[in-house]
Structure 1
Amino acid sequence: MNSITNLLPVTSSEDVRQSLKNGVEIALLDVREEGPFASAHPLFSVNVPVGRIEERIAGLVPRKDAPIVVYDDGEGRTAKAVRLLQSLGYSAVSALEGGLEGWKRSGGEIFIDVNVPSKAFGELVEHVRHTPSLPAREVHDRIARGDDLVILDARRFVEYNVMAIPGGRSVPGGELALRVRDIAPSPETTVIVNCAGRTRSIIGTQSLVNAGIPNPVFALRNGTIGWTLEGLSLEHGAARKGTDVSEQNHEAARARAKILAEQTGVRTIAVKDLERLLADTERTVYRLDVRSPEEYVEGHLKDFRSAPGGQLVQATDEWVGVRHGTIILADDDGVRARMTAHWLRQLGWNEVYVLEGWDGLPREAGPEAPLLSGPLPEAETISAVDLHDRLEDESILVLDLATSPVFRKGHIPGARFVIRPDLLSHPAIRAAREIVLVSPNGIAAHLAAPDLVGEHRRVRVLKGGTDAWLAEGYALETGLEDAQAFSVPDDVYKRPYEGTDNAAEAMQAYLDWEYGLVSQLEKDGTHGFRVLESL
């Protein structure tokens, strides 16, 4: 550790692992960009890049005195992150002793990729429950023969729409147990569940097995990756979705979900007891609505975040930053919250509650508002019209703080891609006398503006961000060439299972890695997973 890090409060790797094993609340935060994070990290670390802390920390760690341990891999970001968190009111923040290298030296297991706890759990579920699956070629042949089957894609709709198994329909994982009986009313119909790789196929299939449907159920082995590696064609732009739920099938799904919740130790909580739980100052509480995003927008409980059930199981660390925190789930059907909760309990979350009834709780409509750590700092702004009029002025440097995939998709002409930690280090930025900061909705730009303010520099924020630019009808550039980048575009890890341009070698390597996760779990010893072995 350098001398600056030595001045910080520290926590040893051994103490972190002990908290994980003992069920004690702890948040282990990796403050590097997602690319480096995906190359090496502890199992339960949560990626919160230092430049995104103000945007994400309030949702991931809502309790200000929850224990937080921060680390990097020698990039010098730990000290800044600790001090920033302290300035935001977090009172129990420390640095991981020795950083990532210290974790390795202490014998801690290292994992790659993202959302690893959920992916490792999926492999463990298949290992323990022998979840049935079929290879891509057999599924293809069954489709070609016209067999009686349905293919249910357990991913988010946007992923399904990009690429899908021909004839499949979008039924995200949290919806499967609720809707499958109406999609496949005949018990003779074979149900095949797929995702891009393995996890959501396995969990979706096992959800239907656990839900007790009479149909033969199989996961598409290795998902769209396996389909592609077999040389089979995918469908693009599909828009088929699940059907409405009949009352008879709704009741059957609800009864089975209740049994599963009880078997796995899920608790229910009445509205009158919710405030008592929220008032517990030693408990980090997450309130999550597991219905579809569309239903959430139509109306939801105030202060509940949108976390569709299938994605919450697949990527719990995107909503819940404190391991062993308390999770409260809400739906309006009695199925989705219990099915999600029964998986979270098996994932080692000890305190999982399902809210019974919404009466008496305030509601609101509309999309989820950004959950920031505090008010946006004051910053001088410039309108899209004014920036457009001055875009040819070479004295203005436009810096775009969007993620690299968003930048590639479209950015203001002439803008430069940069991540926030590089704002003070790039020579061209230090030399600039007039800077306009841009981000998709303006929030990241507002948060970064104080970093650059100086007596010899004018810093403004594009009011309303790139969204406002588009609203004025102005065009965007696409792509991300080296000349456009003031930062290495490693802020977002390229998943080998998303998109249509992945190399076969990368897809196969990803599958090989997933198959090895069960043995890694055994070496790690901190996971606390407990797969339901019998029903």
Structure 2
Amino acid sequence: MSAALVTAEAAKDRLHAGEEIAFLDIREAAAFGEGHPLFAIPCPFSRLELSAVALVPRADCPLLLIGGGDGIALKAARRLGACGYTDVSVIEGGLPAWEAAGHGVFAGVNVPSKTLGELLEHEHHPTMIDAATLESWRREGRAHAFFDARPPAEYGKMRISGARCVPNGELAHRLDAAVPDEATPIVITCAGRTRGIVGALTLRAIGTRNPVYALENGTQGWALAGMPLDRGATAEPMPALDPAQAQVSRARAASLIATSKLSSISPPEAEEMLADAGRTTFLFDLRSDSERAARPVPGAVPALAGQLIQATDQYVGVRHARLILMDDTGLRAALAGLFLRALGFEVHVLALDDAPETDGPLVPASPLRPPVLPRAITPGAGWSLAQKGVPVLDLRPSTEWETGRLDGARWALRGDLPGILPPATRRAILLGDATAVAAACCELHAAGIAADWLPADLDACAQAGWPVDRVKRRMSREDARDRVWFVHDRHDGNAEASRQYLAWEMNLINQLDQAERASFGQVPIGAAP
């Protein structure tokens, strides 16, 4: 399949036409983080096919690719055509042409979601509390409930001591169990701004009577105020609901759906939508791990409601796609739907408690054909081949390579292949996850090079006799193209990076052009009580 070339001007028009389109930026993460179009979805060439299938599950959805103007986007288009995509276009000249046409470029990641957060702050003015005031509350022993809106993995990296990990959506759903006294002030923090703002507004949206505050600038604001962060904490289990509290969640969901005019559907209606070949439809399961295990819905994509709002471009690659948001009582789904609708998606709420005797909707199999993974080999077999001179390519994230690596292995990205291999190479061993390995195999097979997949970790390789270098090594920005370097050390004590990041976040709405601003809808949330 040959891709159509389109100008930056034509591409910009297509993005704002209101139709489904997947705008994929195939550059690596470092380049994406330094600057990309507002609605571009990160889908790096090094992880292209399996990432695209997850982000764009419909074969005939229009795909629009942007690269660096170096020809990689055209190669990506051919690879996606081989997967079964039938409508692929490439912006001629890539990002340089986009900039030359006068179109905006945004640094950072998750930019649409963060921009929505800033718009909401300007529109709804959630009550903020600064670090100094919160610290004085703590010193004085003033009663308050303090929650961290991020997922457990982020919470474990750094937190403010005393904050309990209850991510956005979950706090609203579990509010009566988490904060039984309606007079207790609630403070919500995140790492920066967006999730604190969204968390405070979700509680306002359900009519919470407690005073609710977002910690101004989150953990970064706390650190900038000279207060310490706690690292390595383990999140406690989330508050469990008794039957009466679960019924309160259902009642709040029903009220929110009615007042916000959200669509509520049944499992059969959801299944009909999923079977509609003319629309791209995603089914997200917003329940906890234990809730999903108790009533599984195969094929649904698990996600925390707050993260789906915060990092939508990591889950959905299609503008104006249809999203079915599923949970038990409907509240987590309805709250996520409020914000995702404002991002331009068609949203529907599916509350499984409304159909207790019905199975969840059936998710049809994808017609797309991602690359087939090569055969997996054991660490012992890999070490034997390596001793015979078969080159080993390390496709793991560069952050993992820095902490340890197999003796003789060479770190690589797909775009480096096959050029970094000796000319006579006919076989290679690939260390990495399925997404990176499947992508790299396409380039090796095209060059007539067979590949073996080593899915084991370094410890297993060491047990098989493979020498492992555990000396920590730092990769340069030029080499570690797979990670976002944009103010990357803001959580590691770099105060200037934190200030730059927060200024960037607050300035996002000032970068919007008229069409971009019109792409964001309203979130109907009443005034604070």
TM-score, normalised with respect to structure 2: 0.89
Distance 1:473 1:253 in 2: 55
What is the alpha-carbon root mean square deviation over aligned residues? 3.1
Task: Look up the SS of the partner of 1:517 in the other structure.
Answer: helix
What CA deviation, in whole Å up to 9, does each residue of 1:434-454 have, x standing for no partner? 5321114x5532542352258
Q: Does 1:145 align with 2:140?
A: yes
Q: Give the Å deviation of 1:406.
A: 2.9
Whether contact under 8 Å (1:422, 1:487) holds in the other structure is: no
What CA deviation, in whole Å up to 9, does each residue of 1:381-436 have, x standing for no partner? 53211334565x3834221111212333443333221111112222x554656532
- Aligned residue for 2:127? 132
State which of 406, 410, 418 in structure 1 corresponds to 2:412.
418
Q: Aligned letter for 1:527?
A: S
Equivalenced residues, count: 522
Whether contact under 8 Å (1:380, 1:461) holds in the other structure is: yes
C-alpha distance 196-372 of structure 1, shift in aligned 2 (>3 A): farther
Whether contact under 8 Å (2:220, 2:490) holds in the other structure is: no
Q: Does 1:195 align with 2:186?
A: no
Whether contact under 8 Å (1:497, 1:507) holds in the other structure is: no
- Aligned residue for 2:35? 40
Q: Give the Å deviation of 1:291.
A: 1.8
Q: Give the Å deviation of 1:88.
A: 1.0
Q: How does 1:181-260 map to 2 (within 5 A)?
A: 181-239=176-234, 240-260=236-256
Distance 1:471 1:333 in 2: 48
Q: Point out the more displaced range, 226-235 or 275-284.
A: 275-284
Whether contact under 8 Å (1:196, 1:223) holds in the other structure is: yes
State which of 66, 71, 80 in structure 2 corresponds to 1:71.
66
- Aligned residue for 1:461? 453
Q: Point out the more displaced range, 148-157 or 290-299.
A: 290-299
C-alpha distance 459-411 of structure 1, shift in aligned 2 (>3 A): same
Q: Does 1:501 align with 2:486?
A: no
C-alpha distance 456-308 of structure 1, shift in aligned 2 (>3 A): closer
Q: Does 1:511 align with 2:502?
A: yes
- Aligned residue for 2:429? 436
Q: Aligned letter for 2:139?
A: A
Q: Aligned letter for 1:118?
A: S
Q: Does 1:520 align with 2:514?
A: no
Whether contact under 8 Å (1:289, 1:330) holds in the other structure is: yes
What CA deviation, in whole Å up to 9, does each residue of 1:111-138 have, x standing for no partner? 1100000000001111100011111111
State which of 445, 448, 454 in structure 1 corresponds to 2:440.
448
Q: How does 1:330-479 map to 2 (within 5 A)?
A: 330-356=326-352, 357=355, 359-361=357-359, 374=369, 376-377=371-372, 379=374, 381-389=376-384, 393=387, 395-426=389-420, 428-430=421-423, 432=425, 435-440=428-433, 442=434, 444-453=436-445, 459-462=451-454, 464=456, 469=461, 476-478=468-470
- Aligned residue for 1:4? none
What CA deviation, in whole Å up to 9, does each residue of 1:269-304 have, x standing for no partner? 112222321232221000110123454456521110
Whether contact under 8 Å (2:328, 2:351) holds in the other structure is: no
- Aligned residue for 1:490? 481
C-alpha distance 104-67 of structure 1, shift in aligned 2 (>3 A): same
- Aligned residue for 2:96? 101
Whether contact under 8 Å (1:61, 1:320) holds in the other structure is: yes
C-alpha distance 105-526 of structure 1, shift in aligned 2 (>3 A): farther
Distance 2:319 2:457 in 1: 34
C-alpha distance 354-498 of structure 1, shift in aligned 2 (>3 A): farther
Q: Does 1:90 align with 2:81?
A: no
Distance 1:473 1:211 in 2: 58
Q: Does 1:310 align with 2:310?
A: no
What CA deviation, in whole Å up to 9, does each residue of 1:289-343 have, x standing for no partner? 0123454456521110111111000001111100000000111222211111122
Whether contact under 8 Å (2:177, 2:241) holds in the other structure is: yes
Q: Structure 2: which 5+ runs fail to align?
A: none
Q: Aligned letter for 2:278?
A: E
Q: Aligned letter for 1:491?
A: D
Distance 1:401 1:485 in 2: 17
Distance 1:29 1:97 in 2: 14
Q: Does 1:325 align with 2:321?
A: yes
Whether contact under 8 Å (1:48, 1:56) holds in the other structure is: yes
Q: Aligned letter for 2:408?
A: G
Q: Point out the more displaced range, 396-405 or 85-94.
A: 396-405
Q: Give the Å deviation of 1:106.
A: 3.0
Whether contact under 8 Å (2:343, 2:521) holds in the other structure is: yes
State which of 5, 19, 22 in structure 2 corresponds to 1:24.
19
Q: Aligned letter for 2:412?
A: V
TM-score, normalised with respect to structure 1: 0.88
Q: Give the Å deviation of 1:241.
A: 4.0
Q: Does 1:264 align with 2:256?
A: no
Task: Look up the SS of the partner of 1:187 in the other structure.
Answer: coil
